Amino acid sequence: MKKIIHTSNAPAAIGPYSQAVEANGMLFVSGQVPIDPKTGKVVEGDITIQTEQVMQNINAILEEAGYSFKDVIKSTCLLSDMANFAAMNAVYGTYYSENPPARAAFAVKDLPLNVLVEIETIAVKN
């Protein structure tokens, strides 16, 4: 049985999708972009600032569903420019100091709202 996860501490979906879906002890967090949930606007700033907001949004969704970053098994990072990889990776790494998840990172032509980064996450209850 699937359960839709929603929190006001992360940006509302900007399309026909859920912030996250839980099924069979797994949590699938939709790609998060650097929108401040308090203002509903993309945070201004470089890749470091935008990645921090994305990770805060992911954290809010994980917490709402009863998970944490320790439960994350896979992430996919989408970047507007691979030149931003090292800076994104530095922020991302602060959230996974031990036993980081599997991950893929790609540069893509465009991201929603012209942001610099989008990250999706899968977590599993241990």
Place of tokens 């949590």: 27
| Residue-wise pLDDT tens digits, 59-114 | 999 999 999 999 999 999 999 999 999 999 999 999 998 999 999 999 999 999 99
Query: Is 42 in contact with 56 (CB distance < 8 Å)?
Result: no
pLDDT band at 126 (very low <50, low <70, confident <90, very high): confident
| Residues belonging to the chain | 126
Query: Given 3-state DSSP classes, what are the helix, strand and coil percentages for the chain, each rounded to the nearest 5?
Result: 30, 35, 35
Q: Give the integer Cα–Cα distance in Å for 106 and 126.
A: 28
User: Model pTM?
Assistant: 0.96
| Residue-wise pLDDT tens digits, 25-41 | 999 999 999 999 999 99
Which pLDDT does position 86 carry in this prediction?
98
Query: What is the CATH class of 2-124?
Result: alpha beta
Torsion angle of C-alpha atoms 111, 10, 53, 68, degrees rounded to 10: -110
